[in-house]
């Protein structure tokens, strides 16, 4: 259903407004470069600073532009269950293929609260739902036991795991079953993640290196880990550079170097400094992108 290289798409801005033309061009480029799917309005899409109207505008634009060529997973997370239900219902209405739902941030629900939240979302729609477990941003960590319980619900189909703990993949396989989709949320551990049983990555660096990331994921899906290691060596500097400053600031700079978007991010984020620009330029050269 969902596998391979799935860029967590940036949201292009021009004069603090969504640049829909640049967004459509990016989607067309990802399709032509071999990306296996797209996430619209995840963290890399600067979801915290988009209004609900803007959020929906971006999701709908990406779905329309893809036209079924590759699957679109709509960001639908919130720390308010009713808001998340509204976003997931909209995503279903306009034809998204799935929803990515982050564990609620700031209000820090316990495991019983997580079960209640995701069960309510599951019961509100017919879309496949991917749990987004990212303790570094949401503070809470969904346990394997909680995930196992949720995986028994028909439409809870997988997880984007941004814990950075590749050993957890094996625990989840045992608890949730081998058909439960496991996608890495950390580019730098995608190789090890798949070796443990993952099937892809919701990726930041695939925004700027979609063809390389697609080849990287294809090689692992085909069991060719020697090729995967070679490609990892080309991508490793990009993995590092992309997180020298808050995401997606470095990757938007990289896209601006390719004349694909502006370098504009929304406050409280700011454009990267000159030192980060230099490191990113070197990473792009190492990957053969510039």
Q: Which amino acids are annotated catalytic?
A: 132, 160
Beta carbons within 8 Å of 182's beta carbon, 6+ residues apart: 158, 159, 161, 169, 172, 173, 193, 197, 198, 199
CA distance 130 to 96: 13
Give the whole-angstrom CA distance, residue 111 versus residue 117.
10
CA pair distance 81, 104, nearest whole angstrom? 8
Paired tokens of 225: 């880990």
In 162-216, DSSP assigns E strands to 181-184, 200-203
Distance of CA 144 to the CA centre of its chain: 20
**CB of 101 within 8 A of CB of 132?**
yes
Tokens standing for 154? 């028909």
Task: Using alpha carbons, select from 235, 259, 208, 204 the residue that is nearest to residue 43.
Answer: 204
> Are 18 and 57 in contact, with CB atoms under 8 Å apart?
yes
Note whether 109 and 140 are within 8 A (CB): yes
């Amino acid at each position: 259903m969902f596998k391979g290289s799935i860029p967590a798409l940036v949201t292009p801005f021009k004069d603090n407004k969504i640049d829909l033309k640049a967004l459509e061009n990016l989607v067309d480029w990802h399709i032509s470069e071999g990306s296996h799917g797209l996430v619209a309005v995840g963290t890399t899409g600067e979801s915290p600073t988009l209004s609900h109207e803007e959020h929906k505008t971006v999701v709908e634009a990406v779905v329309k532009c893809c036209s079924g060529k590759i699957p679109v997973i709509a960001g639908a997370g919130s720390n308010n269950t009713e808001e998340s239900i509204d976003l997931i219902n909209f995503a279903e209405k306009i034809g998204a293929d799935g929803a990515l739902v982050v564990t609620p941030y700031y209000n820090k629900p316990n495991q019983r609260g997580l079960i209640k939240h995701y069960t309510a979302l599951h019961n509100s729609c017919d879309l496949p739902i991917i749990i987004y477990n990212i303790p570094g941003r949401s503070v809470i960590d969904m346990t394997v036991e909680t995930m196992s319980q949720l995986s028994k619900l028909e439409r809870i189909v997988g997880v984007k795991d941004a814990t950075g703990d590749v050993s957890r993949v094996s625990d989840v396989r045992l608890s949730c079953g081998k058909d439960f989709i496991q996608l890495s949320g950390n580019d730098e551990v995608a190789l090890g993640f798949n070796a443990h049983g993952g099937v892809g990555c919701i990726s930041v660096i695939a925004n700027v290196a979609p063809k390389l990331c697609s080849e990287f994921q294809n090689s692992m899906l085909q069991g060719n880990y020697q090729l995967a290691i070679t490609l990892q060596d080309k991508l490793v500097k990009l993995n590092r550079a992309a997180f020298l400053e808050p995401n997606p600031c470095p990757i938007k700079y990289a896209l601006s170097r390719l004349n694909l978007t502006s370098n504009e991010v929304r406050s409280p984020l700011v454009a990267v400094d000159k030192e980060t620009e230099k490191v990113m330029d070197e990473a792009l050269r190492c990957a053969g992108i510039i």
